[in-house]
Amino acid sequence: MVEAGRAVKMYRPGTFREAVEIRAEYNTIPLAGGTDLMVKYRKPAGVLPFFTRPVEFIGHLNELKYTEKGIEVLRIGAGVNLSEILKNPDIPGSLKEAASQIAAPGIRNMATIGGNICNASPAGDMLPALYCLDASLLLAGKNGLREVLLSDFITGPGKNSLRGDELLKEIYFPLRHYDKIYYRKVGTRMANSLSRLSFTGLVKWNGKIISDIRIALGAVAPVVVRSREIEKEIIGRSSAEVSGITDEILLSYKKLLHPINDQRASAVYREQTALKILKEFLEHRIRL
């Protein structure tokens, strides 16, 4: 590829091990589906994308295209695309809900779960569900494997802790059953829309008492908002008891929201809408 008179080197490794070696030696930009990167590095119409470093294609590597269901853990290769996630019966419903509302089938056929993570956008559609699932990542580098929590991996808008010699190999999380799954994506239209904000809520009951609850909000702060401390305040209560402290919970979450103004929505809109969705979830959606 030639960009504005400058040749851009491209690599297509034959194995994942070779991909890691190339990444370590040349500090490449990994490209799987490219649905985020081609937008990130795009130039005006008629002009080729401008990549700042050599590009390494990894989307064809079968070593990244697997799903393994164990007794307690589900493992997903970073190269699994969103269409495959929707088809796989082992994938939790919360992830499927998020994947189903990303773009159109053609994009979902290319976009990978690993790419959605590494892009580290506050509006990344898969991220709130993955935060709720306590997802961890397996990173492969020249010195071996490294494990890190997803919540520690993403450090800010478009920023992550992936080292220059590493590639994301796998996403894994504990397998748990939830009685209620609630997902909301707010966009400018029903399909092919970037998130103004997104919400994932998971609830597990023990009789009439909430034994587990997970809440995550996207595109309302530099990183996904999830508070285990607030969740602990909800666990052990009935739905009626939660309704009685809804205002207190909303105030606690409001302190965590730091949305921005951009071309899709204002900060005020994002905050108010996020709190309305959270209120709806707490007062109506968590009930058996």
Top-level class of domain 180-285:
alpha beta
Q: How do 55-57 and 29-31 pair as beta strands?
A: parallel
Q: How do 144-149 and 154-156 pair as beta strands?
A: unpaired
Distance of CA 126 to the CA centre of its chain: 3
pLDDT (0 to 100) of residue 43: 59
In tens digits, what is the pLDDT along the chain, a chain of 288 residues? Answer: 444 445 689 999 999 999 999 999 999 999 998 777 666 666 556 556 677 889 999 999 999 999 999 999 999 999 999 999 999 999 999 999 999 988 788 889 899 999 999 999 988 999 999 999 999 999 999 999 999 999 999 999 999 999 999 999 999 999 999 999 999 999 765 555 577 899 999 999 999 999 999 999 999 999 999 999 999 999 999 999 999 999 999 999 999 999 999 888 899 999 999 999 999 999 998 876
Q: How far is CA 253 from CA 196, 218, 231, 250, 275, in A?
A: 18, 13, 10, 5, 8
- 20 near 141, Cβ under 8 Å? yes
Task: Quickly tell me which residue has 């998130």 as its tokens.
Answer: 195
As a 3-state breakdown, the chain gives helix, strand, coil percent values, each rounded to 5, of 30, 25, 40
Q: Name the β-bridge partners of 148.
A: 137
Q: Residues near 140 by Cβ (< 8 Å), separated by ≥ 6?
A: 16, 20, 146, 166, 167, 168, 169
pLDDT (0 to 100) of residue 114: 96
Which fold is adopted by the domain 62-174? 3.30.465
- Give ∠ CA 211-217-221 in degrees, rounded to 5: 135
- 74 near 67, Cβ under 8 Å? yes
Question: Residue ranges per domain, the chain?
Answer: 2-57, 62-174, 180-285
Up-side HSE of residue 109: CA atoms within 13 Å toward CB?
A: 3
Kindly report the pTM of this predicted structure: 0.92
Rounded to an integer, what distance in angstroms lies between the CA atom of residue 98 and that of residue 182? Answer: 10
Q: Name the β-bridge partners of 173.
A: 74
pLDDT (0 to 100) of residue 193: 58
Rounded to an integer, what distance in angstroms lies between the CA atom of residue 151 and that of residue 133? Answer: 11
Up-side HSE of residue 225: CA atoms within 13 Å toward CB?
A: 22
**Contacts by 45-54 with C-beta closer than 8 Å and gap 24+?**
47/4, 48/1, 48/2, 48/3, 49/3, 50/3, 50/4, 51/1, 51/3, 51/8, 53/26, 53/27, 53/28, 53/29, 54/8, 54/9, 54/10, 54/11, 54/26, 54/27, 54/28, 54/29
Rounded to an integer, what distance in angstroms lies between the CA atom of residue 197 and that of residue 208? Answer: 31
